[in-house]
Amino acid sequence: MQAFCFINSFSTPIPTLMNIAVIGSGTMGNGIAHVFAQHGFSVSLIDISQPALDRALGTITKNLDRQVAKGSLSDDDKTATLGRLRTFTSLEEGVAGAGLVVEAATENVELKLQIFRDLDRYAPQDAILASNTSSISITRIAAVTKRPAQVIGMHFMNPVPVMKLVEVIRGYATSDTVTAQVMDLSRQLNKIPTEVNDYPGFVANRILMPMINEAIITLFEGVAGVEEIDTVMKLGMAHPMGPLQLADFIGLDVCLAILRVLHEGLGNPKYAPCPLLVNMVMAGRLGVKSGEGFYQYTAGSKELVVAERFRK
């Protein structure tokens, strides 16, 4: 995402927690918008690109169709869910009247800080400002606003419509009231919120990313191949997906960014990203999103094929 273009000045409606604004229409943003709209909230989905917003609505529609086909959602519920969604390319318009804003932009520190500076200017004074960041300090984000008590982390898991966990991260100044409200909102989405404190990587990625990094180091050092490493973890540790396949699914660029946050924030060399991961990201081999990572991905195919570079 780029910087937003702000237009017009108009009166701001009174915010309500039934009005949600989601910033970013990518994988996480459209999933967050989906679950809020499905559970009765009015949702404003915001992005700088109208084509991106159109793609997001297409993705939400397909995911709702999948739920209808499985019998977990009625056609009427699907229609009602889509009716609660509106799209905006103006941040100022999109957040007007929002009681909760959830930022789900790219995992880039400077971008997020700028978005929160702008949110502090345009969102209603009583609005809660949440970030879906998977590793960046909530305290650091809150510090660029004049309302740090109202800033919190709301880290959903991917895919958002399916995964139950919401990691709720308290910044240094986050109030008890805001934390309780976000915990309650998460339960209204039929999620299970878990409250954690604001340290690099929080809980989920502080534990997950070193495991993924160690799997990449194991491959890098020639201990075993891609399939063997993933098979050991799936069959030996009962993981539904091997760590290398999971890294591809998350995005190798995202994994690298989180490891760098851990390494910088904790100052421990054990969090240093594997050179193989660094090289793959520099080469544009980012996993599913680029069509190749540790595995190769073909549109429409569910077959798991090891990338040619890693075949024996």
The full length of the chain comes to: 312
Instruction: Kindly give the residue spans of alpha helices, DSSP state H, lying in the chain.
Output: 27-38, 50-70, 75-83, 91-95, 109-122, 138-142, 176-188, 204-220, 226-231, 237, 243-250, 252-266, 275-282
Nearest to 55 by CA among 30, 81, 80: 30
Alpha-carbon distance of 138 to 169, in angstroms, equals 7
Q: Identify whether 135 is a catalytic site residue.
A: no
137, 155, 186, 213: the active-site residue: 155
HEC string of 161-209 equals CCCCEEEEEECCCCCHHHHHHHHHHHHHCCCEEEEEECCCCCCHHHHHH
Q: Identify whether 25 is a catalytic site residue.
A: no
Alpha-carbon distance of 248 to 246, in angstroms, equals 5
Q: Identify whether 167 is a catalytic site residue.
A: yes
25, 30, 134, 213: the active-site residue: 134
Question: What are the tokens at 70?
Answer: 């499985």
19, 205, 213, 227: the active-site residue: 205
Q: How many CB atoms lie within 10 A of CB 17?
A: 17
Nearest to 64 by CA among 49, 48, 85, 50: 85
Helices 75-83 and 27-38: angle between axes, nearest 10 degrees: 110
107, 167, 227, 292: the active-site residue: 167
Nearest to 64 by CA among 49, 79, 53, 46: 79
Q: Identify whether 92 is a catalytic site residue.
A: no
Active-site positions read 134, 155, 167, 205
